[in-house]
Structure 1
Amino acid sequence: MAWLPGWLQSRVVGGCWHRRYAAEDGWLHVWHTFSRYEQVRHYVIRRSVQDWLALDNDDDGWPDDERHRLVKTDDMKGLAEEGKAEELRVRLVALEAAYQARTGRGPAG
């Protein structure tokens, strides 16, 4: 994750695609058939993540009621796309506030 901006590196807890995770769960033979949303959702459930959002250039399969969890990036520009890093920052601040409201604790992490 060293290629991410410093302010973001500490906030990233994982990624949805890793051949090892799919193999451990017996999904390797079908993982490539899952939509990106299904891959992300599998990771979230497997790790029991409650407060999360995804940064991805692939919005395949994302249902309308879950799109608030996705920061969709351009395939080539990624976070360099105008306004995208700020959108992510704002969404992370909101996510942090939701975490604090839900748990009554300070910053996550």
Structure 2
Amino acid sequence: TSYTHPFADLDLLRRGDVIRTRARGGRITVFRVFRIATVEEASYKEFVLRQPRSPGARVITLFACTPKGMRTHRIVVRARAQGREGAPRSHESGSSANTGGSSTGRTDAT
């Protein structure tokens, strides 16, 4: 379960919230949440693996166990890319770092 991990507060996100991811090199991509669903554990894989309807759409899918500490269901959050922020940082180490947060600061994923 993700009870004590980066997506522990995934259930606090709401439609319209912003998620920021940082990829290798420091480039930040901004996503806006457009769908939140709760899916039974037995069927979440096919739900999560569904591809966007429009080819080339940039969609991020985040999921975690829900309720917290249980494995019976998954909360699935989908967000569309809105654009990028700033230029890549040349001083970043070679490791990949992903961070995100809602526009309200309710969720912080690393």
TM range (shorter): under 0.3
Q: Give the TM-score, by structure 1 length.
A: 0.23
Q: Give the TM-score, by structure 2 length.
A: 0.23
